[in-house]
Amino acid sequence: MKHKIYLSFIALVAVVLFSCKKEYTIGGSLHDPHVNMTTYDYLKTNPLFDTVVLMIDKTGLKEEVNATGTFFAITDYDLSNYINLRQELERTRRVDPNYIFTFDSLDFGVMRDSLRAYLFKDLIPLDKATKTGKLYKANDGELRLVQGIPSRDYTDGSVFTQYPVYLYLTKLIAKPGYPVPVTDADLANTIPEQYLQTRCQTTGILTTNGILHVLNNNHTFTYFADTFN
């Protein structure tokens, strides 16, 4: 009997370890999510945000990033995805297949508000997020939907009775007959085609001035991939 219990325990540990490989933690720890530094300083410690930190500097948003609240941080990959798509679009507009669009080509005045769309004055923890979601006003004045959606990525229900919950930051767009919701009650009158969802790869890093969530590397900054066509 003891032998069977031991084998069951090993199997459970193996499942948990396998689960951790796909969605990894960038900062904090499983036991203590606190980091004893500001949000900006934390970003500077991780090479995944090198270009993002440069954008924060160029847009003059360091103090705003360090204000109390929540930052759904983009990664350098998310910014690169945006730049690559902008290059494709600019080449078409200019009828010049050799045109090169780079980080230095960005209009940082415009990018300031684009980055502020990921900053919130509210503290938004994962454990308060629901599947239906709640609208929060970003620092650019637009509303974003935050959802906590259960996932069966790592289990078919035979081992776990509760599924892991992932945090999503969603931009809502208008569709014919379906305006952008302005209150939580309006969410009941939306359709899936309005939801531009981005899942967080890391959630709940607690800095000295707020909460940091990190969007996955497949996201495109400003949701440009979903809207530029």
Write phi, then psi, for 212 (nearest 5 degrees). -120, 125
pLDDT at 5 over 50: no
Question: What tokens does 102 get?
Answer: 């780079």
Tell me the residue type at 91: R
Tell me, yes or no, whether 175 lies in a domain: yes
Give the residue, 109 or 6, on which the prediction is more confident. 109
Is 105 a member of any domain? Answer: yes
The pLDDT value recorded for residue 93 is 86
Q: Is residue 2 part of a domain?
A: no
Asked if residue 22 belongs to a domain, the reply is no
Q: Residue 92: enclosing H or E segment and its boundaries?
A: helix 76-94
Q: Is the pLDDT of residue 191 over 90?
A: yes
* pLDDT of amino acid 197: 95
Cα gap 174→78, rounded to integer Å: 24
CATH code of the domain containing 198: 2.30.180.10
Q: What is the pLDDT of residues 18-34, one digit of tens each?
A: 333 333 344 444 458 89
Whole-angstrom Cα distance, residue 215 to residue 221? Answer: 10
State which amino acid sits at residue 20: C
Residue-level pLDDT at 156:
56
Contact yes or no for 94/107 (Cβ under 8 A): no
Residue pLDDT, tens place only, 99-126 = 899 999 999 999 999 999 999 999 999 9
Confidence (pLDDT) at 154: 59
Amino acid 19: pLDDT: 36
- Say if 15 falls within a structural domain: no
- Whether 2 shows a pLDDT value over 90: the answer reads no
CA atoms within 13 A on the CB side of 154: 19
Q: Which has more pLDDT, 184 or 157?
A: 184
Q: Is the pLDDT of residue 200 over 50?
A: yes
> Residue 66's domain spans which residues?
32-227
Confidence at residue 161, expressed as pLDDT on a 0 to 100 scale: 59
Map 167-186 to HEC letters. EEEEEECCECCECCCCCHHH
Structural domain contains residue 14: no
Residue pair 219/81 in contact by the 8 Å Cβ criterion: yes
Percent of the chain past pLDDT 90, that is, above it, reads 71
Closest CA to 117 of 134, 132, 137, 147: 137
How many structural domains is the chain composed of? 1
Q: Let me know if residue 9 belongs to a domain.
A: no
The pLDDT mean for the chain works out to: 85
> What are 134-182's pLDDT values in tens digits?
999 999 999 999 999 998 765 555 555 567 899 999 999 999 999 999 9
Asked whether residue 166 is domain-assigned, the answer is yes
